[in-house]
Amino acid sequence: MENDSNNTSNEEFTKVDFKDGTQNCKNFFSSFFSNPIKTLKNISESRRNLFFNTSIIILLAWVLIMFLHALLGNVNHTNGLYIFLSAIRDLTIPIISVGFLALIIYCMAPNKDEKCSLTNTITASIVCKIPIIFVSLLSLITLVSDKAYIIINPIAYFCIAISILLTYFAVKFLYKESEDFKSFKKFMVVEGIFYGVYLILSFLGIYMV
């Protein structure tokens, strides 16, 4: 009888967690697509790690997309080592991109204890990359047809521009900076360091977006 009651409670616990996780995802995407800037503001002000779990799921989805790129993009290669190294490189792009952006924003924060928590910074950094994740998913079409680049490239540039714009608001909200000019200066420093790291890593064959 005791085992039966334990099993029942475990099943109920799993159902509750699943429902909560699904609801959080729905709430996040509803919030983001209706007002992404307000979503970033809510994340920066949250004391309950708002949407952190959902952002990790989004990051893992990006890793899966890059895995598909690596798997399908190298299907014609016969060199196993080349395929393996290409897959490792592509799979690290999302983690390195988000990791370095979050680290730079966090390290540059004026007051980490009161203004900028690491968890909120990671969440906001992932959210800023959603347009790039979208175009990464869309670019899977190019693995089927080379001509798809004609359509995908302009969309990619547009999504990168939106991602950079979202990063500005993430910096502004995470730093609790009310003055636009000060926010812009701090944003430029963050982006300058990010692309400086990008340049160095690109010489090593490691890429960020």
Comparing 181 with 148, the larger pLDDT belongs to 181
Comparing 138 with 26, the larger pLDDT belongs to 138
Q: How many CB atoms lie within 10 A of CB 185?
A: 12
Query: Do 127 and 166 touch, CB atoms closer than 8 A?
Result: yes
Q: Which residues contact 93 (CB under 8 A, 6 or more apart)?
A: 66, 207, 208, 209
Comparing 71 with 63, the larger pLDDT belongs to 63
What's the confidence (pLDDT) of residue 140?
87
Residue 46 CB-density burial (10 A; 0-12 exposed, 13-18 middle, 19+ buried): middle
Query: Do 186 and 108 touch, CB atoms closer than 8 A?
Result: yes
Give residue 11's pLDDT band: very low, low, confident or very high (50, 70, 90): very low
What's the CA angle centered on 168, arms 163 and 171, to 5 degrees?
Answer: 120
- What are the pLDDT digits (tens) for 130-177? 999 999 999 888 877 778 888 889 999 999 999 999 999 999 999 988
What's the confidence (pLDDT) of residue 191?
95
Rounded-to-integer distance, Cα 123 and Cα 105, Å: 12
| Helical ranges in the chain per DSSP H | 2-34, 36-45, 52-73, 80-107, 118-128, 130-138, 149-174, 180-203
What's the confidence (pLDDT) of residue 157?
94
- What are the pLDDT digits (tens) for 86-133? 778 888 899 999 999 999 999 998 766 566 788 999 999 999 999 999
Rounded-to-integer distance, Cα 167 and Cα 207, Å: 19
Give residue 47's pLDDT band: very low, low, confident or very high (50, 70, 90): confident
The whole-angstrom distance between residue 186's C-alpha and the CA centroid of its chain comes to 21
Query: Domain residues of the chain, as ranges?
Result: 35-203
Rounded-to-integer distance, Cα 48 and Cα 118, Å: 12
Indicate if the pLDDT at residue 2 is higher than 70. no
